[in-house]
Structure 1
């Protein structure tokens, strides 16, 4: 979950402004608006983010983290 902000020059060059690792998730925030503009409504986005978190937790749970 992150958003990278860019600037675009008049000549079309892209410049990284800043990475945002905790983008807003309110009704006026760009993160959900950008996903919705690409066809993924907020409810579906939240559902998918939760699914991905559960999958990641399951993968990590299966890893061995100690040495005997």
Structure 2
């Protein structure tokens, strides 16, 4: 999980830097980034719901 959190944080910081370079006020940048993140989560949840039931049936216990 840590690698995904790091990637997410890095992407967020890069996006803020790009918006700052375009002289977007920090409050507006934060609102935009928050909205984009919410949209991304909603899209991912939609994909999971759409795929529900499409996984193959279990062939027994998982081996680790």
Q: Please give the range of the TM-score, normalised by the shorter of the 2 chains.
A: 0.3 to 0.5
Q: Determine which structure has the larger helix proportion and give its number.
A: 2
Q: Determine which structure has the larger strand proportion and give its number.
A: 1
The structure number with the bigger radius of gyration is 2
Question: Given the two structures, how large is their TM-score scaled by the length of structure 2?
Answer: 0.47
